[in-house]
Amino acid sequence: MKILALNPPFLPKFSREQRSPAVTKSGTLYYPIWLAYATGVLEEEGFDVKLVDAPAQGKGMQETLDFLRYYRPEMAVIDTSTPSIYNDATVAAKIKEVIPRCTTVLVGPHVSALPHESIQLDPAIDVIARGEYDYTVRDLAHIVQRGGDFEEVPGITFRRNGKIFDTKDRPFIDELDRIPFVSQVFRRHLNIKDYFYAICQYPEVTIVTARGCPHRCTYCVYPQTFQGRRYRTRSAENVAQEFQYIAETFPFVKEIFIEDDTFTIDKNRCREISGMLIESNNRINWTANARADVDFETLEMMREAGCRLLCVGVESGNQRVLDNMKKGISLKRIRTFFRDAKRAGILIHGCFMVGNRGDNRGTLEGTLNFAKELNPDTAQFFPLMVYPGTEAYRWAKQENLILTEDFSQWVTHEGLHHSVVNLSGLSNADLVAFCDRARREFYLRPGYVTRKLKQVLRHPWELRRTAKSLRTFFRYLVRGTFPKSRGAERSG
């Protein structure tokens, strides 16, 4: 049976799989990693699968439909996101127009959080696969192939005779070593040079070594809607084997990005993986998502194993705001971590977010000052993006802070992030304007510019990463000109 795994066309270079889907100012474009993992499972099961990433491959709607007419799949697994959900439902409808007998399946955090609302967007949508869907689409494919009953498949919401039904939730996957390497799927289906992460050396390959995150951050979408808060891991041996596979298969790759929600949750596991990479003479640098609570000894061992940079969510420079978002960390601990990372020789990409509960103009300035004090290698400043299924979304909705329930407004016409949250004394426009100013103040400091120039001179390979980011980022950074939001444009 033929199956299409589709990251559907939307805006050019729309990065759907990142935690805040958008077209990024830095040119970052994420791999369709969850579609790729599911593709590997389906292929292992014997199905004929094509993974198509329309935004990365420059495919518009017509080119995608032309491929459908050629390939003629019997099932289409369609990725979704909050800002693109209306478009994604339309894609499902167009697939049905071309191939009426094709079973359309929507996947992703948004439809997992709002399965009934999502399936009702268009009668062409047959199934919502809720949450972690690797084995859900596998089981569904077998049902479609033999003409069985959808009720047999746990973890789905489906339509039958005009009515909507939910099956029981599917348990999260514990034995992650059984899932094929995602890098193998990339080799068969994608051109890795289409993907770029501004914080990584180019080209890079993204993998996941664990799923779920036990921390309680109110804004983080994946643990609350998609993969849960129970931490599940691949074995250290399995991770080291994939590193070796990537080194042998993609000798031109400069970096591996470990896209776990928090790679450093289990420090003993970090050290075990690092030890195996050291023992195997790993030659590829790597980057990972981390919390600002890793001890110096672990950082030192990670650096020896090839860790070049950690992406860390600092979020706020105000302790009360951090507590409100249930970050579970102190400003003192963050400062210590930054000092230890510098001592260990690991670069930090710091993430800062404004518009959380308790934020005001004073706390925003405090966050900017804290970012300058910590002085990470790179930094991003975002307004709070509230996504259905998260505690932050429920809070904002209960307090009547959300300006619109039109999900297309979560990004601007060009696809850039757009806040839809109005705080008391801080409008959504104020939050966006602050992030623009914070970005300029952080990056245009003479000391920062000098440090980056020295870094590039010491490490010439950093030039390519920095230059590729600046080509798209510079016009926003210096001129501070940003497209109007859809709502702003319609209103006047």
Note whether 161 and 282 are same-domain residues. no
Residues 317, 208 share a domain = yes
Which distant-in-sequence residues (6+ apart) come within 8 Å of 58 by Cβ?
Answer: 12
Cβ atoms 202, 465 nearer than 8 A: yes
Contacts of 446 (CB under 8 A, 6+ apart): none
Confidence of residue 458 (pLDDT cuts 50, 70, 90): confident
Predicted pLDDT at 456: 76
352: its two tokens: 């800062």
Mean pLDDT calculated for residue range 472-484: 49
Is residue 348 located within the same domain as residue 260? yes
Q: Which of 166, 182, 213 is the last residue of a domain?
A: 166
What was the pLDDT predicted at 466? 59
For residue 485, the model assigns a pLDDT of 34
The two tokens of residue 158 are 């489906």
Share of the chain above pLDDT 70, in %: 93
Residue 44: pLDDT over 90: yes
**Which of 166, 183, 208 lies at the terminal end of a domain, its last residue?**
166
Domain that holds residue 208: 197-486
Identify whether residues 363 and 402 lie together within a single domain: yes
Q: Residue 134 domain-assigned? A: yes
The answer to whether residues 229 and 356 belong to one domain is: yes
Instruction: Establish if 436 belongs to a structural domain.
Output: yes
Cβ-in-10-Å burial (0-12, 13-18, 19+) of 116 comes to: exposed
The pLDDT-based confidence of 386 (bands split at 50, 70, 90) is very high
- Name the pTM for this structure: 0.94
Whether residue 355 is predicted with pLDDT greater than 70 in this model: the reply is yes
pLDDT tens per residue across span 327-337: 999 999 999 99
Structural domain includes residue 188: no
Phi–psi pair at 198, nearest 5 degrees: -60, -25
Residue 480 to residues 292, 411, 446, Cα–Cα distance (Å): 30, 17, 18
Q: Is residue 180 part of a domain?
A: no
Q: How confident is the model at residue 484 (pLDDT cuts 50, 70, 90)?
A: very low
User: At 450, is the pLDDT very low, low, confident or very high (cuts 50, 70, 90)?
Assistant: confident
Q: Report pLDDT digits (tens) over 6-16.
A: 999 999 999 99
d(CA 347, CA 311): 9
Could you tell me the pLDDT band of residue 453, with boundaries at 50, 70 and 90? confident
pLDDT tens for residues 236-289? 999 999 999 999 999 999 999 999 999 999 999 999 999 999 999 999 999 999
pLDDT, position 451: 86
pLDDT for 262 equals 97
Last residue of a domain, one of 147, 166, 185: 166
**398 pLDDT band (50/70/90 cuts)?**
very high
| pLDDT higher than threshold 50 for residue 233 | yes
- List, for residues 359-379, the tens digit of each pLDDT value: 999 999 999 999 999 999 999
Mean residue pLDDT across the chain: 93
CA distance linking residue 136 with residue 192, whole number of Å: 27
d(CA 251, CA 242): 13
Q: Are 265 and 152 contained in the same domain? A: no
Q: Is the pLDDT of residue 394 over 90?
A: yes
Q: What is the CATH number of the domain that holds 270?
A: 3.80.30.20
- Are 157 and 210 found together in one domain? no
How far are the Cα atoms of 2, 124, 211, 273 from residue 55, in angstroms, in the given order?
22, 22, 25, 34
> Are 131 and 226 spatial neighbours (Cβ–Cβ below 8 Å)?
yes
Pairing of strands 204-207, 255-258: parallel
Same domain flag for 233 and 99: no
Instruction: Give the confidence band of 468 by pLDDT, cuts at 50, 70, 90.
Output: low
Q: How many CB atoms lie within 10 A of CB 461?
A: 12
CA distance 267 to 271: 6
* Per-residue model confidence (pLDDT) at position 461: 61
Check whether residue 254 and residue 112 sit in a common domain. no
pLDDT band at residue 489, thresholds of 50, 70 and 90?
very low
Residue 387, pLDDT above cutoff 90: yes
356 within domain boundaries: yes
Q: Give the model's pLDDT for residue 234.
A: 98
Confidence of residue 465 (pLDDT cuts 50, 70, 90): low
> Do 135 and 209 fall into the same domain?
no
Least confident of 160-174, 192-206, 443-457: 443-457
Looking at residue 486, its pLDDT comes to 37
Sequence-distant (≥ 6) Cβ neighbours of residue 242 within 8 angstroms: 181, 183, 207
Residue 157 lies in a domain: yes
Give a yes or no: residue 481 inside a domain: yes
| pLDDT over threshold 70, residue 474 | no
Structure tokens that stand for 451 in this block: 């440090």
pLDDT tens for each residue of 343-353: 999 999 999 99
Look at residue 343 and tell me if it is in a domain.
yes
Q: How many domains does the chain have?
A: 2
276 and 417 housed in the same domain? yes
Span 26-40, average pLDDT: 97
> Domain check: are 208 and 154 in the same one?
no
Do 140 and 127 touch, CB atoms closer than 8 A? yes
- State yes or no: pLDDT of 311 exceeds 90: yes
> pLDDT of 47-83, one tens digit each?
999 999 999 999 999 999 999 999 999 999 999 999 9
Give residue 455's identity as a one-letter amino acid code: Q
CATH number where 60 lies: 3.40.50.280
